[in-house]
Structure 1
Amino acid sequence: MPPLAKLLSLLAFLLLAVAPARASVVNAPGANLEVSLVTYGPGDVYWERFGHDALELRDTVSGEAVNFNYGVFDFNEKNFFLNFARGRMHYLMDAEPTVDEESYYIQVGRSITRQRLAFTPEQAAALRDFLFWNLRPENAGYNYDYYVDNCTTRVRDALDKALGGVIKAGLAAQAGGMSYRQQTDRLMSAQPWLMLLLDLGLGPYADQPMNAWSESFLPYELQAKLRGIRVPDGRGGTQSLVQNEELLSPNRLPAPPAQAPDLRLPLGASGLAFAVLLVATTRRARLAHALLATLYLIVAGLVGLLLLTLWTLTSHHSAWANANLLLFSPLAFLLLRAVWRARRDIAPSRFANTVLILQLAAALVAVLLHLLPGTVQQNQPWLLFALPAWLALAWSLRQTTHS
């Protein structure tokens, strides 16, 4: 979404708010307002993989329709990438004519689904007033969080507030289907390396049990879960919140899988294959062995530094207290010299042996933590990958003590 165009359209709608003479969404009676949730399918770019949504307000008399969404960011913002790395992402709310916004999604092949919602005139007017208040420059910005404060949770919360809390009351009592980690892996599976990096960086927060309310941080989940919400019908009974659902444009992009991929077999097999290579080259191809071990130690050390930084120096709470730090540690850097000394049949120093024992103990702690009752973090794939590699590396280093 071009940020400058979004900001210009935001200003245009603010101008509408001070032009009461024009019949429009801004000043239409609540009885003339139609409220809809518009859901857009996932895109090709990594930040589009979770999908997107917007709230549409339509004046049934004038025909004007406006889409409000919370997904605007600007790569050109000062220190954007530094703030992103620190977990301080600044997003904006925006509004633009429905036709203009939908034309973009049709052009790029992302599906568009509109759900017309059962709002009373008073609720529709209250939602409209809140959205235009939120659209003001002093209110439009917010600190984005992928899981708990994003473009969908803001839409969900606005709907829930206007409906008096009925959505949260209905969804909080229902169990969720997946964890944050599973949903992330599922939606990012089209980009395997990025999926693996994200999975490696997610800590126990990403594996906590979710209810349907928290799982509705995703556009498609919110769309599906609203179908089961019922609201008063004004006659002493109830009616479905979703009065009508219409597919406005089909999806022309590959759809994400229904379930998250199981990473245990591929990562476990990769770790075992790497361990076999380390063992096989210990005596027969010492240069190749040293290069393989160096590659592993450098990657393990860099990953450890990254995980430690995410935990201690950023606001990415989903990466805090990551048990993978026990498997991939900066201690790995301290073993690089021992690997190249072993190539010349020089046994590891006492210092290197101590570091190796500490690293193996850390890996053992990671296994024990995973086996303890009540353990939250689901990092079995990385345990299966790292343990064979560390054991093979330790075995190969210890061989030089017998030469």
Structure 2
Amino acid sequence: MVKKLRFLLLVVSSFIYGQQITLSNTAEISVLTVGPGTSLNDAFGHSAFRIKDPNNRLDVVYGYGEYDFDAPNFYLKFARGKLNYLLSKDSFSRFYQVYVYFNRTVKEQVLNLSQSEKQNLYNYLINNYKPENRGYLYEFFFDNCATRIKDVTKIATKNSIKFNLPKAYTPKTFRSLIYNNVNKNTWGSLGIDMALGAVIDRKATPEEQMFLPENIYKFFEAATKKDGTPLVKKSNIIFTKRPTNISNNFFSSPLFVLGMIALVIIFITYKDFKNKKQTQWLDITLFSFTGLIGILILLLWFATDHTGTHQNYNLLWAFALNILMIGQLVNKKPKTWFIKYVKFLIIMLCLLTLHWIIGVQVFAVGLIPLLIALFIRYIYLVKYYATLNNQ
């Protein structure tokens, strides 16, 4: 019985995927741009294709951005950048209802395509939606739901599109483009700035800026075809986000929370200085925290396929070897070389400041109080251990 059911499903699926719908002259293909949501994973918006053909009773949306939750070792693959994302397909009515429910603006650009170009694009999506073709290795900056819209459109039109610079275009780094969508003083922004390295502090080319859905919209608006006609025939807003009260509580922001922690560190350091002693639990906590963060950064750099995590100079403050120094912190009298090691950590913090000033890498604003507190604490430890060794 089970074998018969499997065979029946195979026959039905083969029939469905094998069907070739010829689009009518009334068919329209448009690009849908969804505005940002409230959480970090949807803060950059979404892009999708809409295929509308009243004569064929067709109104579907294809989007490159669905998680494959059935993939084995899902979370491990996600962390390592080896997780395949899927091409999704849904009715336009359901797509619309979802984003209205989540109160996200939806804009539409009807593409100025010939009948053969429409059919090419639709055929490409049908073929891409087959089970063996649906998955692709997602890459945030270079292969995502937005860049796929650009790439598929170019393929369907046989590279006959010229992407002109939109009005008010300005060259920006990848990190600056991210900041357009995420407030610098948020935990999401802090995580991004700690996880992503100096590679995203280079200027993005105009085409590379299209990794963001909103920039797909802007570049498509300005794009022309080979014959000089606009790529977009008409644009309209399908749904406008309803006004909402945005709560931006500074007292829960990284700058405030880490600022309070930094004040505690500086206060304890001052008390230690006055009493000529060392608060060991504080130093063990700081070395453990910075060491573990450093190990995580190294893993993101060398043990994953994420291109944006390379050359991450957060290692200048989150030094992985700190985790191995816990033994020296608990000793009544640490080795002489450990004093040199702490001096090395101070130099590393100075190098971090230099990297930030000359623009090699931009670091999280929320880290500033913590970095100042670490600098002060390390200077005190050098003085304290030097005095201890001279006794």
Q: TM-score range by the shorter chain?
A: 0.7 to 0.9
Consecutive unaligned residues of structure 2, counting only runs of 5 or more, are: 1-10, 247-252
Q: What is aligned with 1:315?
A: 305
Name the aligned partner's letter for residue 234 of structure 2: N
Name the aligned partner's letter for residue 71 of structure 1: G
Let me know the Cα RMSD of the aligned residues: 3.5
- 1:17–1:335 CA distance, 2 compared to 1 (3 A): closer
Residue 50 of structure 2 aligns to a residue whose secondary structure is strand
> Whole-Å Cα distance in 2 between the matches of residues 332 and 199 of structure 1?
21
Q: CA deviation at 1:91?
A: 0.7
- 1:168–1:279 CA distance, 2 compared to 1 (3 A): farther
Q: CA deviation at 1:34?
A: 0.8
Residue 110 of structure 2 aligns to a residue whose secondary structure is strand
Q: What is aligned with 1:276?
A: 266
* Contact 1:41-1:111 within 8 A present in 2 as well: yes
* Contact 1:160-1:166 within 8 A present in 2 as well: yes
Name the aligned partner's letter for residue 290 of structure 2: A
Q: Out of 375, 387, 390, which is 1:402 matched to?
A: 387
Number of equivalences: 372
Q: What is aligned with 1:329?
A: 319
* Contact 2:161-2:231 within 8 A present in 1 as well: no
- 1:75–1:377 CA distance, 2 compared to 1 (3 A): same
Residue 241 of structure 2 aligns to a residue whose secondary structure is coil
Deviations 1:282-319 (A, max 9, x none): 24578994443333222111111011111111111211
* Contact 1:160-1:168 within 8 A present in 2 as well: no
* Contact 2:106-2:237 within 8 A present in 1 as well: yes
Q: What is aligned with 2:339?
A: 353
Q: Out of 133, 136, 139, which is 1:139 matched to?
A: 133
Deviations 1:199-218 (A, max 9, x none): 11111111110123111111
Consecutive unaligned residues of structure 1, counting only runs of 5 or more, are: 1-10, 21-25, 257-262
- 1:230–1:264 CA distance, 2 compared to 1 (3 A): farther
State TM-score, norm by structure 1: 0.80
Q: What is aligned with 1:366?
A: 352
Percent of aligned pairs sharing the same letter: 24
- 1:288–1:274 CA distance, 2 compared to 1 (3 A): same
Deviations 1:102-129 (A, max 9, x none): 2221222222111111111121111112
- Correspondences of 1:235-250 after superposition (within 5 Å): 238-250=228-240
Residue 42 of structure 1 aligns to a residue whose secondary structure is coil
Q: What is aligned with 1:18?
A: 18
Which is worse superposed, 203-212 or 269-278? 269-278
State TM-score, norm by structure 2: 0.82
> Whole-Å Cα distance in 2 between the matches of residues 73 and 47 of structure 1?
12
Name the aligned partner's letter for residue 189 of structure 1: N
Q: Out of 37, 48, 55, which is 1:43 matched to?
A: 37
> Whole-Å Cα distance in 1 between the matches of residues 264 and 219 of structure 2?
44
Residue 159 of structure 1 aligns to a residue whose secondary structure is helix
- 1:80–1:287 CA distance, 2 compared to 1 (3 A): farther
Deviations 1:242-291 (A, max 9, x none): 222221122147699xxxxxx99879967974663343232457899444
Q: What is aligned with 1:260?
A: none
Q: What is aligned with 1:88?
A: 82
- 1:107–1:388 CA distance, 2 compared to 1 (3 A): closer
